[in-house]
Amino acid sequence: MIDAYKSNVSVVITDNQRVIIWVNEQFSRMTGYDLEEVRGKKPALLQGRNTERPAVTRIKAALNKKVHFHDRITNYRKNGEEYTCALTIHPIFSLNGDLSNFVAFEVDNNFIDPNTESLMQLTTTQKKTYLTDAEELVMYFKLLDLFRAKKLYLDTELNLQKVAKLMNTNVKYISLIINNQTENNFKYFVNQFRVQEFEYLLSSNKMPNYTLFSIGQACGFKNKSTFYNVILNHTGKTPKEIANKY
């Protein structure tokens, strides 16, 4: 499993026009910029007075060629401090072969040796999905964003077929990517979001006059026994015990 959320490596995902659409928390720790400050901008915002022009030229050339590459460049944190950035960038293609994204993995080379970080070496291909590790990781992030933006988990009839259609891919890919990235199956993946929604509704007191199962139904749970079992399995507490916290 590749955990880009807890990694020492900064992850930057852009669209095919090289505009940032997502960064992980390590990027914010390394640069001082949070996601909302860089979303919609280009990574060049990190460059400054001493950024090496030859490195910029090499990076642009590789991006234009749509090839995987490694390089180093002097970047600047939000506070103006310089740091040497070692980076690995992968072009990501849709199933029909069109360029869809770029994903960059970056470390502060002043403190971290890129050769010790597995995310910096993502060139292997998953045998079952025929996607490179980088392609699979981007697809997983897209899946997470889709669930959060559309709240797919609220659909009590949600299944792999529906998700695959929205992702413009197939059921096998979605299932394997979830398994590879989370070490759990689709059902467990969906229920994690439902449990989070349940805890959010309780903590925010948005449904004060509803029974616990009614709140569970609003989170996408269809069956009462399943609702209680899932909450217990995911949190180690019953719905009532969670409710008592608030």
Residue 2 lies in a domain: no
Say yes or no: 112 and 197 in one domain: no
CA distance 137 to 121: 13
Asked if 30 and 10 touch (Cβ cutoff 8 Å), the reply is yes
Is residue 225's pLDDT more than 90? yes
Indicate the residue among 69, 101, 123 that finishes a domain.
123
Residue 154 lies in a domain: no
Count the helices and strands in the chain (H runs, E runs). 10, 5
Say yes or no: 118 and 197 in one domain: no
Sequential DSSP letters for 123-188: --B-TTT--BHHHHHHHHHHHHHHHHHH-GGG-TT--HHHHHHHTTS-HHHHHHHHHHHHSS-HHH
CA distance 141 to 246: 31
Helix axes 186-204 and 224-235, enclosed angle (nearest 10): 90
State the DSSP H helix or E strand holding residue 23, giving kind and residue range, or none if neither: strand 20-23
Say yes or no: 193 and 109 in one domain: no
Indicate the residue among 86, 104, 123 that finishes a domain.
123
Could you tell me the CATH number of the domain that includes residue 111? 3.30.450.20
CA distance 186 to 164: 12
From the CB of residue 130, how many other CB atoms can be counted at a distance below 10 Å?
10
Residue 67 lies in a domain: yes
Residue 101 lies in a domain: yes
Say yes or no: 21 and 108 in one domain: yes
Question: Which residues form the domain of 233?
Answer: 189-244
| Length of the chain measured in residues | 246
Say yes or no: 26 and 116 in one domain: yes
Say yes or no: 103 and 197 in one domain: no
Mean per-residue pLDDT over the chain, rounded: 87
Mean pLDDT of 105-122: 73
67-81, 106-120, 147-161: lowest mean pLDDT where?
106-120
Is residue 116's pLDDT more than 80? no
Per DSSP, the three-state class of 62 is helix
Residue 56 lies in a domain: yes
| 134 closest CA partner among 143, 122, 146 | 122
Residues 6+ positions from 215 with CB-CB distance below 8 Å: 198, 201, 202, 207
* Per-residue CA distances from 227 to 187, 195, 197, 215 (Å): 13, 9, 12, 10
Q: Which residue has the higher pLDDT, 194 or 90?
A: 194
Residue 132 lies in a domain: no
31-40, 120-129, 135-144, 179-188: lowest mean pLDDT where?
120-129
Residue 18 lies in a domain: yes
* Per-residue CA distances from 67 to 37, 63, 83, 89, 186 (Å): 28, 7, 25, 8, 32
Residue 23 lies in a domain: yes
CA distance 165 to 152: 13
Is residue 68's pLDDT more than 90? no
Mean pLDDT of 26-44: 94
Instruction: Provide the domain count of the chain.
Output: 2
Helix axes 186-204 and 171-182, enclosed angle (nearest 10): 70
Indicate the residue among 107, 123, 139 that finishes a domain.
123
CA distance 31 to 34: 8
